[in-house]
Structure 1
């Protein structure tokens, strides 16, 4: 018996809310990882554990598929983009509050819109361009105080937004052909193929970014936490999009700022300043307008032509 559409949508909304609560916990584990553990090793734990969980799950559900032809290069490109985005973000949260980093990262929908117009020749009207520019202005309000104290590190969440937008554009071309679970497993595999060789090659080199260390004490638990929470949170967002339309659940992702603020305050006693909240409000308002505009345009596109 099929699940009623209304119940499916509600289930999708619940999965999205769960993602917004769980995802900042992953960032907290990354932030809490001792600084002598290189970021590349945190990435290896994040994607390696995801492979160990998702690949057997895909095999058990008979969703595993061997990539062929052009898909191999697309998976590697998606893995590289997500790896770069995660590396920038994990580096940023080591030095700045999680809520600030996530607020800046939420310019990603604006970057995706503009890149879609440039590379995919998607039609973007002046209203959406204006919303993007206003959203970037809000991000500057969040970046400015952090930039004064941290310098270029405050710009890393912007790099995260750019790489994540590239990842989303690549996902658009593959999501209709592959099951979401298969797609996530392939992405994690591709990321592992990229991040593990430098760690192996530079073992003992003394590199701050690539020389792995044997985790002990707190590092064991934080690395396990990063991998497990990353897997659970991405499964939540995968099934949120499976049960509910993207136009319904995408705006809910801004709840992640609330989750990040709560986690940052409880774990690290970080709380955004008033100017940061003003920037967050501008980013969220611009993003919600962008989502609403795209939904309205989608409805107009889906309407049947008028009778002659």
Structure 2
């Protein structure tokens, strides 16, 4: 019999696999149709799936206050920016390189929460964040030999996801998760649809239609599995399994696109993952100490 944490870990690994397979399908589409067209068509299918899911779960409620709606708007803005910057980078960079940069998210969210939400961050976690950013620099290598505009877009997607996650942290418990995901999907789809009006559309091949369908299926599966993972196990235990997405990106990048990161990129990815795991460990330890202090105030 699996424990709740074991089930949560399995769901999280499956979620990361689903998201990375979605990214692979989207990258395959880059040779056939423009970015905004791909986002719009995938978005329609995803929003339809979310609507069906929310109807089945009975979770569509909109009776929350103005503050929550502002936060949902802010979160959706971050989601729109993240989709644009991430997919633009993905269409023009190796899959593993873009995925490796995204592994800095636990570090950026922790730092941003300290700066903007006044959450405490000790010197050990701050040091881990700084070391992690050195790992990011090894991947994007600012300078004439290793840097390009798409590496900057990968960093911009990290900033947008950080904004999204900060807004999510401030949402009240009255807001159902499915409503948050649905609003994000509608925002991305509407933005891509408007932007696609200024870009010539292309007719995808039969294979391209298959890629689009696969992307829609796997992005929805990733959302469902990630939510299930967090609800099944302890967040501190389940979260580190997000890093398995990098392993999927390395394997799929090699098998599908023939890409394998160089030594500096792999070293940077290893630094980011190590410091991210340390940050998560410190947050978990801090949470346990706070819980212990509340139970025994003496």
Normalised by the length of structure 1, the TM-score is: 0.89
Q: In the aligned structure 2, how far is the partner of 1:300 from the partner of 1:59? A: 40
- Cα deviation, 1:146-197, whole Å, max 9, x if unaligned, reads 9735612122221111111111111112263333333222321233333323
Offset, 1:112 = 0.8
> How many residues are matched?
296
Q: Match for residue 235 of structure 1? A: 224
Matched, 1:174 2:146: no
Shift of the 31–150 alpha-carbon distance from structure 1 to 2, 3 Å rule, reads: farther
Q: Match for residue 271 of structure 1? A: 260
Q: Secondary structure at the match of 2:204?
A: coil
- Cα deviation, 1:192-242, whole Å, max 9, x if unaligned, reads 33332333xx2xx4x4xxx43343433322222222111011111010001
Shift of the 270–66 alpha-carbon distance from structure 1 to 2, 3 Å rule, reads: same
Name which of structure 1's ranges 39-48 and 91-100 shifts more when overlaid on structure 2. 39-48
Matched, 1:184 2:181: yes
Name which of structure 1's ranges 107-116 and 282-291 shifts more when overlaid on structure 2. 107-116
Moved over 4 A (4+): 305-308
Residues 45 and 226, structure 1, Cα contact 8 Å, conserved in 2: no
Shift of the 68–215 alpha-carbon distance from structure 1 to 2, 3 Å rule, reads: farther
Q: Match for residue 290 of structure 1? A: 279
Q: In the aligned structure 1, how far is the partner of 2:12 from the partner of 2:26? A: 22
Normalised by the length of structure 2, the TM-score is: 0.91
Q: In the aligned structure 1, how far is the partner of 2:142 from the partner of 2:210? A: 32
Shift of the 146–13 alpha-carbon distance from structure 1 to 2, 3 Å rule, reads: farther
Structure 1, gaps ≥5 residues long = none
Shift of the 157–238 alpha-carbon distance from structure 1 to 2, 3 Å rule, reads: same
Structure 2, gaps ≥5 residues long = none
Residues 140 and 147, structure 2, Cα contact 8 Å, conserved in 1: no
Q: Match for residue 124 of structure 2? A: 127
Residues 117 and 124, structure 1, Cα contact 8 Å, conserved in 2: yes
